[in-house]
Chains A and B, each alone.
Chain A
């Protein structure tokens, strides 16, 4: 039997819980807390959304002009390294 944890502790562990980053005992404690605490269930759903937003809504595309310059740079990468890095 694992000792119960309060909302504060459950919330503190939420993201690691979602990531599977907790050890088995800590994970179980959060699960047991979520089994009866509606509010923390809301927090879990929200944390999941927020984490998803961080991943999906920070998209950055490589602009064409940067790509062209960088590909040119890469084409010469490894050629006379010291020569090219000299100011």
Chain B
């Protein structure tokens, strides 16, 4: 048992509940995107922590960001082991992968004038969410906070308690990793097969 925490005053309690209600959809989505844990449990635990440290929130305007920080930290506590595990892809292989150039070289839509856009268009919302979950947690968290939640690199650095330079290189590697996972996922799930061999697939379906 932790030490007894002074109960919140009624006005504080009302403010926290209102804030939690307003932020609920976003917190749930954030928990799902961070992934690897039960999103509902993560949101609940984060709100309990928020309750215990409500005194540290000086300005209600900063509430959404404050809750994001608490949820991210709770997630990191829960995933501490996974976050520390060494990446299976070596550093030197991780850096240079470029989806743009790979698409150009592999040319999955030979008759298209808008090759790159076509490839991205093949990904549904489900596909992109899947790809995001394939990115290792410590890169995924950077992508989610920076590019989905829209926090600045400086803010992400504060949230993750890392120097901005570290977050920059984490983001850099995260982007390449995301691009690589996009490409691998497209190959594994046959996302791009339909385009180049669309007629062939149609005929098979008719014939079966």
**Which A residues have a C-beta under 8 Å from some C-beta of B?**
11-12, 15-16, 19, 21, 42-43, 45-47, 49-51, 53-55, 57-62, 66-67, 69-71, 73-75, 77-82, 84-86
Chain B residues near A21: list those with CB within 8 A: 152-153
What is the bound-complex CA distance between A53 and B124, given in angstroms? Answer: 10
Quick one: given A60-B129, A74-B21, are A11 and B178 in contact (CB under 8 Å)?
Answer: no
| Count of residues in B whose CB is under 8 Å from the partner chain | 51
List the B residue with the shortest CB-CB distance to A54.
B147
The one of B5, B44, B123 in contact with A53, judged by C-beta atoms closer than 8 angstroms, is B123
B185 interface residue, CB < 8 Å from A? no
* B28 nearest in chain A by CB position: A62
Specify which chain B residues have a CB less than 8 angstroms from the CB of A59 in the assembled complex. 29, 125
| Contact A49–B7 (Cβ < 8 Å) | no
- Chain A residue numbers with a CB within 8 Å of B120 are 49-50, 53
In the bound assembly, the distance between CA atoms of A71 and B168 in angstroms comes to 37
> Closest B-chain residue to A71, C-beta based?
B21
Q: Are A49 and B117 in contact (CB under 8 A)?
A: yes
Name the B residues within 8 Å of A55 (CB-CB): 147-148, 150
Those of B150-205 within 8 Å (CB) of chain A: 150, 152-153, 168, 171-172, 175, 178-179
- Interface 1/0s, chain B 115-126, versus A by CB < 8 A? 011001001110
A81→B100 contact, CB < 8 A: no
Contact of A70 (CB < 8 Å), options: B13, B43, B179: B43
